[in-house]
């Protein structure tokens, strides 16, 4: 197995040097240890798309004209090559490394479109306001980068107005939705492009995302199920469900992500089967339910479901599918499900983050009727 030259210093990866099969075994054991006896009778299946070179998006730090990462002791580690990146994203990294950002410190996100739908690379600059202002006034760095990158700026996802490149100062304009990512239609076995911003949250790789979508699709093969989805983001699971004939109600607090979902639904003629709820559903609130769902699919942040757990229980659904990047919060939420007559019937580890301790879990809970 190829080993990164920065394996002993870079904070991005911690398992270089451990055989990959052993990495997978360690992650499976960690999940089983968390759930003690609840997984004793279940075969926990492990899925991988590769040992490295899969990431189509990655966040880096720019500090003193260099690109790198910050370690646990707050030391900056410069990087010239990252084995986690796809070859295409490494090309973007090499191009960006030529830019001379005269800032003290800032965060960037690099992205390559998952199906090569967009010719340019994506670049999100999350810098201090004054640093952004100086770049807009200086112009030359951003103009040069714009030859190869579609550039977004700041938390509001603003993009450069190229019509102002010859003005005294470059102006910003409203965010732009573009198909940076994709999911799958399991009826036609064709991709569905997903609208989003460079700075939008997506899974790190379309290959690993498909592993999870495949698992969920295998559990929901009946037509026209009523599905609730908590934490839909830009719709990775939403559109595989809709295109399979299911009706989906989504619950999401990111308004831009929901605008992207709506745009994608319109483009694919799926809006009729989609209901959108906007709000912070981790906070206590009563949901009006016209129909109880057959399935609840939850994909919460690291903090878990919090108060939405009570809405899931109240729905009295037959199946709960839980996707988690943080098994500890999954374990906390699962305790409530187990106390309300649900049992774990399937569990999968998806190694989205090889060479690190992180992994994704896709777990199926089914109601036991007493």
Note whether 237 and 109 are same-domain residues.
no
Is 307 within 8 Å of 279 (Cβ atoms)?
no
Domain span at residue 82?
57-176
Note whether 293 and 306 are same-domain residues.
yes
How far is Cα 112 from Cα 119, in angstroms, rounded to an integer? Answer: 9
* Structure token pair of residue 303: 């903090």
Helices within 317-369 (DSSP H only): 327-339
pLDDT(334) > 80: yes
Note whether 134 and 161 are same-domain residues.
yes
pLDDT band at 281 (very low <50, low <70, confident <90, very high): confident
Catalogue the active-site residues.
Answer: 325
Task: Select from 118, 145, 176 the last residue of a domain.
Answer: 176
Residue holding tokens 């040069």? Answer: 144
162-188 confidence digits (pLDDT tens): 999 999 999 999 999 999 999 999 999
Q: Which residues neighbour 56 within 8 Å (Cβ) at sequence distance 6 or greater?
A: 86, 88, 89, 111, 112, 113, 114, 204, 205, 206
How far is Cα 79 from Cα 21, in angstroms, rounded to an integer? Answer: 27
12-45 confidence digits (pLDDT tens): 999 999 999 999 999 999 999 999 889 988 999 9
* Structure token pair of residue 225: 């199920």
Counting Cβ atoms within 10 Å, is residue 111 exposed (0-12), middle (13-18) or buried (19+)?
Answer: buried
Q: Residue 61 pairs with which residues in a beta bridge?
A: 68, 107
CATH (domain of 140): 2.40.50
Note whether 114 and 189 are same-domain residues.
no
Task: Select from 119, 145, 176 the last residue of a domain.
Answer: 176
Task: Select from 176, 192, 213 the last residue of a domain.
Answer: 176
- Whether 230 is in a domain gets the answer yes
- pLDDT value for 285: 66
User: Would strands 149-153 and 121-126 be described as parallel, antiparallel, or unpaired?
Assistant: parallel
181-237 confidence digits (pLDDT tens): 999 999 999 999 999 999 999 999 999 999 999 999 999 987 789 999 999 999 999
Note whether 235 and 285 are same-domain residues.
yes
pLDDT(1) > 80: no
Note whether 281 and 152 are same-domain residues.
no
- Whether 7 is in a domain gets the answer no
Note whether 259 and 159 are same-domain residues.
no
Residue holding tokens 């374990």? Answer: 331
Domain count, the chain: 2
């Amino acid at each position: 197995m190829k080993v990164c030259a920065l394996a002993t210093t870079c904070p991005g990866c911690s398992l270089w040097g451990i055989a990959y099969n052993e990495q997978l075994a360690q992650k499976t054991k960690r999940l089983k240890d968390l759930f003690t006896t609840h997984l004793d009778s279940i075969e926990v299946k492990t899925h991988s798309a590769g040992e490295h070179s899969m990431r189509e998006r990655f966040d880096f730090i720019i500090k003193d004209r260099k690109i790198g990462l910050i370690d646990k002791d707050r030391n900056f580690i410069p990087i010239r090559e990252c084995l986690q990146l796809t070859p295409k994203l490494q090309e973007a990294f090499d191009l960006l490394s030529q830019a001379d950002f005269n800032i003290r410190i800032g965060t960037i996100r690099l992205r390559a479109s998952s199906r090569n739908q967009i010719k340019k690379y994506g670049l999100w600059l999350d810098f201090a306001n004054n640093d952004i202002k100086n770049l807009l006034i200086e112009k030359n760095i951003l103009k040069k980068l714009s030859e190869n990158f579609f550039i977004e700026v700041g938390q509001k996802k603003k993009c450069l107005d190229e019509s102002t490149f010859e003005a005294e100062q470059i102006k910003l304009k409203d965010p732009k939705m573009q198909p940076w990512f994709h999911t799958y239609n399991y009826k036609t076995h064709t991709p569905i492009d997903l609208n989003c911003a460079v700075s939008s949250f997506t899974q790190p790789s379309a290959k690993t995302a498909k592993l999870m979508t495949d698992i969920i699709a295998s559990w929901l093969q009946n037509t026209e199920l009523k599905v609730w989805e908590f934490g839909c983001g830009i719709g990775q699971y939403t559109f595989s469900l809709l295109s399979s004939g299911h009706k989906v109600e989504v619950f999401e607090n990111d308004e831009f992500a929901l605008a992207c979902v709506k745009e994608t639904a319109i483009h694919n003629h799926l809006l009729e089967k989609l209901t959108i709820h906007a709000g912070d559903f981790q906070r206590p609130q009563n949901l009006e339910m016209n129909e109880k769902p057959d399935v609840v699919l939850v994909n919460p942040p690291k903090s878990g479901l919090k108060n939405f757990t009570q809405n899931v229980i109240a729905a009295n659904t037959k199946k709960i599918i839980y996707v988690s990047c943080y098994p500890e919060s999954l374990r906390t939420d699962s305790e409530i499900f187990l106390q309300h007559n649900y049992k774990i019937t399937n569990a999968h580890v998806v190694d989205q983050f090889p060479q690190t301790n992180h992994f994704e879990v896709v777990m199926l809970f089914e109601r036991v009727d007493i």
